[in-house]
Amino acid sequence: MTPHNRASKGDIAPVVLAPGDPFRAKMVAQRYLTDARLVTDVRNILGYTGQFQGKSISVMATGMGAPSIGIYSYELFTEYDVRTIVRIGTCGGLQPQITVGELILALTASTDSAWAHQYRLDGTYSPCCDAALLFAAVEQCRSRSIPFHAGMVFSSDLFSSYNALGADSWKPWARMGALAQDMETYALYSTAAWTGRTALSILTMTDSCVSGEGLPSEQRMSALYPMVELALEVASNCQDA
């Protein structure tokens, strides 16, 4: 056990799906996993382990922001022998061609955070996803005719709607090609690299910074089903690799 996770060794599968929202973790466990059991609930960060297509898979929330996902992912990688984390998150879209509800596969992440200062690198670090996981996700999207976009995301310490930089602070990042803004991908990819593990961030664009369009409140959970199903297929298949 750790200060943030009451699961015992062996309670958590080698592959973990990681939503930010604890209730999204609960939804995944109840809707998609068989024989799912709660393995941790410290600080109401819910984690479950069950079966999907005969494979043991866990789903555990990570909270919001780089420090939160950094703690949970580091402990999963180093204390629970997790090999792969697939983030299933939401994001704000930064490009006009991305429609609300479509998926984004985060190839790499830029940031305004000082997260990477801990590695004492003499330069600017740009972490990326695991290529095999990305290729598997792309293949699944194409075989299921799921619209998707793959490229850079911008992981910010600031929520786009609540910051003192102004309503247009996202535009320079959009000009440089960022597809969307989230808060966690950069820290997850950095932690995976540091610990020698693998990660992929799959995001559903729930709100467009460009058009102002957003998912209605009643669709904020159901609209995530395609992302979850894609992540489960990737998680299941990567255990055969």
Which positions are annotated as active-site residues? 207
Q: Are 103 and 33 in contact (CB under 8 A)?
A: no
> Which stretches of the chain are assigned E, i.e. beta strand?
15-18, 34-40, 47-52, 55-60, 84-93, 103-111, 148-155, 180-182, 198-208
* H or E element that contains 236: helix 225-238
Residue type, 59: V
Q: Which of 111, 72, 64 is nearest to 89 (CA)?
A: 64
Q: Are 102 and 147 in contact (CB under 8 A)?
A: yes
In degrees, to the nearest 5, what angle opens at C-alpha 146 toward C-alphas 144 and 152? 130
How far apart, in Å, are the Cα atoms of 104 and each of 101, 153, 178? Answer: 10, 9, 11
N-to-C CA span, the chain: 29
